[in-house]
Amino acid sequence: MTHQHRFKTLSHPVAAIIAATACTALMAAAAPVASSSPPEQVGCPPGYGLGALTFEETLELPRFQAALEAGVFTEEGLAAGFADFDANGNGILCFKDVSGLEHVSPYVYLIIDDPSPN
């Protein structure tokens, strides 16, 4: 008996199960193997030109330096604010320069958490 003949004698549900199992096995074999390397950073969305920054890097931003010098912010206060924004807990936030909002505050940046899943 040939393979074709055996499949012809099977009922449709059984043949469908065999076909589905074969497809699943092929997809599993073709799936990429998990890597031990860390996941790639997603980065900041367009417009956040100052980029993804750590807390230490934010202390170098000119508006934050000016705020620290003027006594408007403390380093501890900036650290607490940074931690509040860092929802994914990876220590990175995205910063955007918002020239034109000096009338609101000369020390402001637009800040969002980076979209990285870690």
* Confidence at 8, pLDDT banded by 50, 70, 90: very low
Please name the residue ranges forming H helices in 31-109: 55-58, 62-70, 75-85
The CA distance from 64 to 85, in Å, is 16
Q: What is the mean predicted confidence (pLDDT) over 43-70?
A: 95
Mean residue pLDDT across the chain? 74
Burial of 52 (0-12, 13-18, 19+ CB in 10 A): buried
pTM (predicted TM-score): 0.61
In this predicted structure, the answer to whether residue 55 has a pLDDT above a threshold of 60 is: yes
Does residue 95 contact residue 48 with C-beta atoms inside 8 Å?
Answer: yes
The CA distance from 64 to 73, in Å, is 8
Q: Give the domain ranges of the chain.
A: 1-31, 51-113
Cβ–Cβ contacts within 10 Å for residue 106, how many?
12
